[in-house]
Chains A and B, each alone.
Chain A
């Protein structure tokens, strides 16, 4: 997998940006690169890059997150330190952009620097199992909204098809035609496919450029709920 100096992950909220950004930063660090990750999510105060602070620190990845992340202060302030990512060109930088166009407004202030340097990959994270991006056409519309807000054109697509703990290799493979259509509509390549590590194992050799991921465990597993949850009525 070839890497640009700055890699940005953006997409519809809940598409999986944060998990991908964290795992991608860990991959860069494992490959021996000086890596920093910035959480630019000004929209959702619940699921954050900072939740993976311990793993990132252990891997030597520096983490730049909003001052009030994971606190009760619902204040979407970005740290001045985030400029390090665009100014220190000896770093490999990963940027986790907030959901939808609202989240991408925060990106705008860094866009001129990123464009000037020109060594970046702006990846659109797509999950067809999410309700507002069920079709490639809907995903394209979200893509255009984010570009308009952040001022930075996308250059790649990430296939992150998943149904959380119900994801199988088939879930990911079934999304391939969707990704190909999105690629055709946008003119952008499908850069990689990200999947939880056990699913990625099943996918090995069946799909190119896989990013196996360790996921942030945030939801509350139910003891009897290994398969689909039982419906409440009927």
Chain B
């Protein structure tokens, strides 16, 4: 068996990033993701990498932009309010088509909110956050193992599609410790002929830029970018289906909420209620097709989230409102109990949701 290490979710991200070839980390501390930076601060100097605590989140995301333009595997990490500050940079990175890896270990919001776990940045991650037409690949780990695996996957996808891959985790997964291994995700490498590596007088200049002076040129760029996004949507959807074969109630949840939901699904089955779970692992691209197929089979959906109901909109959109979808939620740093989810499943079974 592969060697197992006991890691915090935040440490798993940092170690996996290093193993994926990331040698540039720019960040700014914020609870509950600080261990990512702390781990990088300890490790990077020992392996010839760069750890830099910038003067602000805005500075750090622009450092990521710069290193990414030079073709480096680079990352930053933060938590909710910090990601808001980075949003301008994320838009510039998208507009320049450079790959970046960004981690959001979410805490309660809006505003300064609180330091306890939350999933209330779903909209921000999947619908923009920054300005302009753009997408990010959004990965939602539900365990410390997935924090590591999806980090490697995220670096691969970012390079492959020249876009930002974001880990959307929460304080619980960031802080909790589980034994993991690093051997289940393969590091892929991609040529970066567009990178600013110096022409050595042997090739034309590469330009990395998000400014277009002519409207038709900018429109063409946007159309091209969305063609690429379409390929991502066709090829990179990941989700987990649990006990869905004969399910009559489909619970949808991502990240830590899915772990709670899974326990509730097992309890519901014990009571004879045929519940199943679809857990989106990629929040963008969203597993819309899987949900559409589920809608042909189940009589209703229960969406479990640590927010006021954000992913539920994508669930309703995916199934084109052909089935009722109820929300089972806690927010502000609270986590629903398996019993709360079980009650929501029972209500859905009785058709009172």
Contact = CB atoms under 8 A, between A and B. Distances in A.
Contacts of A74: 31, 115
Interface string A160-183: 001111100000000000000000
Contacts of A131: 5-7, 11, 15, 39
B137 interface: no
Interface string B40-71: 00100000000000000000000000000000
A163 B15 CA distance: 17
A44 interface: yes
Given A166-B4, A233-B153, A47 B175 contact: yes
B114 A72 contact: yes
Q: In the complex, which range does the number of interface residues on chain B fall in? A: 35 or more
A152 B1 CA distance: 40
B121 interface: no
Contacts, number: 96
Interface of B: 1, 4-8, 11, 15, 31-32, 35, 39, 42, 108, 113-116, 143, 145-146, 149-150, 153, 171-172, 175-181, 183-186, 256, 259-260, 262-263, 266, 281, 333
A14 interface: yes
Contact of A231 (B7, B32, B149): B149
Given A129-B5, A132-B39, A166-B4, A229 B178 contact: yes
A130 B7 CA distance: 6
Nearest to A43: B34
B263 A232 contact: no
A63 B259 CA distance: 32
A32 interface: no
Given A223-B266, A229-B145, A233-B153, A46 B5 contact: no
B39 A232 contact: no
A57 B39 CA distance: 36
Given A222-B259, A232-B149, A164 B178 contact: yes
A218 interface: yes
A223 B150 CA distance: 22
B147 to A, nearest CB: 11
Interface string A121-163: 0000001011110100000000000000000000000000011
B175 A44 contact: yes
B6 A219 contact: no
Contacts of B266: 223
A218 B335 CA distance: 12
Contacts of A218: 176
B179 A233 contact: no
A222 B172 CA distance: 14
A183 to B, nearest CB: 22
B178 A219 contact: yes
Nearest to B112: A72
Given A14-B6, A45-B31, A222 B262 contact: yes
A46 B178 CA distance: 15
B149 A163 contact: no
